[in-house]
Amino acid sequence: MSQRVIFLVDMQSFYASVEKADHPAYRDKPVIVSGDPARRSGVVLAACPLAKKRGVKNALRLWEAQQLCPDAVIVRPRMQRYLDVSVQISSILARYTDMVEPYSVDEQFMDVTGSRRLFGEPREIAAQIQRDIMEETGVYARCGIGPNKVLAKMACDHFAKKNKTGIFELDHHHLKTHLWPLPVGRMFGVGSRMEQHLKRLGIYTIGALACFPLSVLKKRWGIGGQVLWETANGIDESPVSKESHVGQKAIGHAMTLPRDYADFEHEIKVALLELCEEVCFRARTSGVMGACVSVGCQGADYAHPSGFHRQMTLLAPTNGTMDVYRAACRLFLSFWDGNPVRRISVGLSRLSRDDIRQLDLFENREGERKIGYAVDRIKQKYGSGAVIRAVSLLDAGQALERAKKIGGHYK
């Protein structure tokens, strides 16, 4: 059996690249894509290479980025446009293989093992993909190549992005020379907290992790320890699959509030209802119900973190907004300390199909269900702001503003 050939195709400074492609006047200027500063989201979402050379990084606050690069063109994000280009790029990749798995809006895995006879060697295929994406979208793509997804990802992140060709191949023969000398914090799957835990064990490089006793890692972190060890050794058997995001186990939604909410009746309940509406809309769209409701919140004082995340089991599975809302309110009141909150989340889990339901002799749940689906069809046709609850017109309501956005950013 021949070795797999996996690509991780990544778009350079994706949002900024799309803006430059759409606006030729920006071509030789530093471009920064940033959220709306007026609504507490003034952070850098993307910076083009010219801006990055001046020290601008993603997640930097906009005013700091402007100090580093005062002549930068500041562009508010257009999420719908970025999604459209991402779908266009997916269609380009699909010309080379039917095994394409989106990893994020600007990264996609490809399995081209069976495509080599048609399109040539891996580097040839990668170069042709780069040309196709550039010619058709104006976006520059980098490509990491490996025998599995983990090595393809790290080949792209650590080497292809710094390579003049934008292409790099990493296999098991080059782990010791290329991957193992890197700091352990740069390994795929290692965050800042895990990095500190590993350093306490004397593990400072990926190579040190690869050679560390597996039994000790498993004793400390269970299956997670084994995954860390396998990643460091370039082991990953997971397939590239178009079905990777199918069969979700939970549906959740969170909202960062525009200001501190402290009044339960007139502020927090409005936010909870809007979140329940969004969660249940997504559940009905997916054809599922949930038997477990979860609620979480974070306090407004970031210097002294506070909040909670709790869940409760319902008497019967549901995707009805008011059923979930009533449970969410009970949960919130049970665990809220009364202090102002700045972020609230609602989730629905233990999902099951919504075409098999327990009938209720005392309540007209079928009528409520039909109303919910009828409203969903209106929203799907005319947009999420076409039908909103009256409470969303209050000062605390965010539904109309959120209807203008995708992923928290304006369309």
* Measured distance CA(83)–CA(38) in Å, rounded: 24
> Nearest-CA neighbor of 376 among 239, 294, 278, 281?
281
Among residues 101, 107, 267, 277, the one annotated as catalytic is 107
* Measured distance CA(35)–CA(30) in Å, rounded: 17
Q: How far is CA 242 from CA 103, 113, 147, 183, 222, in A?
A: 10, 16, 18, 32, 29
Annotated binding residue 171: no
* Measured distance CA(35)–CA(267) in Å, rounded: 24
* Measured distance CA(13)–CA(106) in Å, rounded: 9
DSSP conformation letters of 74-141: EE---HHHHHHHHHHHHHHHTTT-S-EEEEETTEEEEE-GGGHHHH-SHHHHHHHHHHHHHHHH---E
Residues 6+ apart with CB under 8 A from 323: 314
> Nearest-CA neighbor of 190 among 225, 156, 219?
225
Q: How many CA atoms lie within 13 A of 132 on its CB side?
A: 16
* Measured distance CA(116)–CA(375) in Å, rounded: 49
Instruction: Reply yes or no on whether 136 is catalytic.
Output: no
> Nearest-CA neighbor of 292 among 334, 348, 369, 215?
348
Annotated binding residue 10: yes
Burial class of residue 343 in the structure, from the number of CB atoms within 10 Å of its CB (0-12 exposed, 13-18 middle, 19+ buried): middle
Catalytic sites, residue numbers: 107
For the annotated binding site, the residues are 10, 106
For the annotated binding site for Mg(2+), the residues are 10, 106
